[in-house]
Structure formats: C-alpha cells, structure tokens
Amino acid sequence: MMQTRAGFFMKIFKKYGFTLLEMMIVVAVMGIMSAIATPNLMNYMAERRLNGAARMVMSDLMAARQKAVSINQEVKVSFVSNHAYEIWNDADKNGTVADNEGDDLVKDIHPDYYDVTLSASVNPIFTPRGTSTNGTTVTLSSAKTGVSKYVKAAWTGRVKIDNTP
C-alpha cells in the first residue's frame, strides 16, 4: 500500500495478461506460419495416402500367397479397374483359376486412398507352394503429387514395395 499526499492509501495493482495489440500480433504470426505450412502438409498427406495404398496392396498380395499355401489351391489376384482388385481361389481344383470361381474377395482402395490409382502388368497367380506363376508389378500413382510406388511380386512369391520400376 502506498500513501498519497492527501493521506489516503492506494493499492498498487500489478498488470497481468496481454494487451490487444500483443494478441493481434500473435494471431497474425500464427496465420502467416499456417499459410506457409499448408501446402507442405497437403503434399505430405498425399504421400502418406500413396504409401498406405502400397502397403494395403502388398499385404493383400502376401495374404493371397498365404491363402494359396494354407488351402493348398491356386489363388489369383485380378486387377479389375484402376482402383479395385479381386482375389479368387481354385475352388474346383482343376489346376486353373478362373474369374468368378471360389471365394471372391473384392478390395477397393478409393474409400481410404481417393487420389491413388493402380495398374498391374499381369494378374498374379500364387501356387500352393507359395510361388507365383508369373512375376508382376503393380504401379500405384498419386494424382496430387505425380509420385509412383511399385509393389512387386516375384516368381519366388516374395512381395515388396519399391520406388523404382
């Protein structure tokens, strides 16, 4: 407490908080930083979607291989459009896998990865020994970034993701 000339006592209040000018400066700086970061974030998200789609295709090819071994039948993966594929098995055990035969598992990547398209060199068929009758490369491309990932299924049955064709 401080005494004035007239003999009254005054309380001295300490200032807490921010002024309006300080708050406006902080908001302006945050706005500039977010405007700079947004394009980078969009490219980052497109890249994450491409990687996620590649992992999904790779895991489904590996699951098809595992299914061929476990049920002792050939399993075919048919790429039916630029965003969907189906997995069939040789239900009649005649040694060939025809479309619309056996269990039909349809996979569509567009609900989760809407800007990614895919194409395959051939439709892979996995044998009961875990090998593939033909090696294939599935190309996944991002419409936003123009970047591509390649999921490769080798003759040996090995499935991997690669950045080069």
Is 2 a member of any domain?
no
Residue type at 140 in one-letter notation: L
Is 8 a member of any domain?
no
Question: Which residues does 52 contact at the CB level (< 8 Å), separation at least 6?
Answer: 112, 113
Is 11 a member of any domain?
no
Is 1 a member of any domain?
no
| Cα gap 102→45, rounded to integer Å | 37
Query: Does 140 have pLDDT greater than 90?
Result: yes
- Compute the average pLDDT of residues 54-82: 93
Q: What is the pLDDT of residue 9?
A: 67
Q: Is 148 within 8 Å of 123 (Cβ atoms)?
A: no
Give 93-115 pLDDT, tens digit per residue.
Answer: 775 666 667 778 899 999 999 99
> Which residue range(s) make up the domain with 46?
17-162
Is 12 a member of any domain?
no
Query: Does 163 have pLDDT greater than 70?
Result: yes
Please state the separation of Cα 127 from the chain's center in Å. 28
When mean pLDDT is compared across 49-53, 69-73, 158-162, the lowest value belongs to 69-73
CATH code at 43?
3.55.40.10
Is 115 a member of any domain?
yes
Is 35 a member of any domain?
yes
Give the total number of structural domains in the chain: 1
Q: What is the pLDDT of residue 38?
A: 84
- For residue 41, CA distances in Å to 38, 66, 78, 164 come to 5, 37, 34, 25
Look up residue 52 and give its two tokens.
Answer: 């996620």
Q: Is 112 within 8 Å of 84 (Cβ atoms)?
A: no
Is 62 a member of any domain?
yes
Predicted TM-score of the model (pTM): 0.77
